[in-house]
Structure 1
Amino acid sequence: MSTVENLFYEDVEVGAVFRTADHTITEADIIDFARLTRDRHPLHCDADYARRAGFPGLIAHGLFGLSLMEGLKSELKLYEDTSIASLGWNAVRFVKPLLVGDVLHVEMAFTAKRPSRSRPAGVITEAVRLLDAQGEVKIDAEHISLIRMRPTQ
């Protein structure tokens, strides 16, 4: 876990790596996400259906995993008071299914940074991976954020 908080653009070091706390996927997580998003596909809500489709039971939505990645990252508080906006996710790959009981964490690395062209802020790029307890990649993606520059004195 990181002990670095509230990074300004100038504090971001390309190559720096961070690891989040673990989260164990529960059936309630999957059902709650299905209810919230109205995506009640039987792979996510009917364990028998999911088993007939070749899975050991319910699988979580890919977008649940992507949302979890952002939530786990936010718990690091890297930009708690310096974040302006998420500019988007690129190259998202759902590599392996997310299963009930999976213990997951995020590994994130800064891969690029540049000053914003429109305001006193910086654009940062993160390589973000959701991994299970065995270190297998479940989701791989790139995230772009806009964060504040350090105020000038």
Structure 2
Amino acid sequence: MPWDYPQPFTQPAVPQAQDIDGLNHTNNAVYVQWCEKTAWAHSRALGLDLHDYHRLDRAMAIRRSAYDYLLPSVVGDALTLGTWLVDSDGKLTMERRFQLIRNHDQATVLRGHWELVCIELGSGKPRRMPEEFCRAYLPALATR
């Protein structure tokens, strides 16, 4: 597939009838939900899950998100959603990218990105990433 970055973490997606809006294509909010589920699956694959976030009283929270909806998808379209961690200062911030590809023609349906900041769950205030985050996330940073 024509990925924007090498070696994406991928998840399959297929729009169902309940995902379709009044314009007869997949509702934009569904794509956002798929991105969130894929990001968590990627984090778990790297060794950090929600339990770890609570145990450490830290989380990578979305500070800013943006999505470019490039093409529609419809019921039954076989899609593949890829994600990467692409940047981090190793202290407080990270960036995650997404690309959704329609399998049959290899067309990119969506691109998205999140700017993430490490927060202390108890206060919601920005805090330095714990060593466990750095060990799991930093080696996974993609390069073009």
Q: Which amino acid in the other structure matches residue 71 of structure 2?
A: K
Q: Residue 100 of structure 1 aligns to a residue in which SS?
A: coil
Output the CA distance in 1 between the equivalents of 2:40 and 2:107.
22
Which 4+ stretches in 1 moved above 3 angstroms? Answer: none
Report the equivalent of 1:125: 95
Cα deviation digits, residues 2-58 of structure 1 (max 9, x gap): xxxxxxxxxxxxx7743222121110233xxxxxxxxxxxxx14xxxx4xxxxxxx2
Report the equivalent of 2:17: 27
Q: Residue 98 of structure 1 aligns to a residue in which SS?
A: coil
Q: Which amino acid in the other structure matches residue 23 of structure 1?
A: A
Pick from 31, 40, 43 the counterpart of residue 74 of structure 1.
40
Larger Rg: 1
Output the CA distance in 1 between the equivalents of 2:131 and 2:29.
33
Pick from 37, 53, 62 the counterpart of residue 86 of structure 1.
62
Report the equivalent of 2:85: 110
Report the equivalent of 2:73: 98
TM-score using structure 2 length: 0.61
Aligned 8 A contact 2:38 2:83 in 1: no
Pick from 116, 119, 144 the counterpart of residue 145 of structure 1.
116
Report the equivalent of 2:140: none
Percentage identity across paired residues of the two chains: 12
Q: Residue 80 of structure 2 aligns to a residue in which SS?
A: strand
Gaps of 5+ in 1: 1-14, 31-43, 51-57, 117-121
Gaps of 5+ in 2: 54-58, 119-128, 133-144
Does residue 60 (structure 1) correspond to residue 29 (structure 2)? The answer is no
Cα deviation digits, residues 68-114 of structure 1 (max 9, x gap): 12212222324423433122213x21000121111222212222111
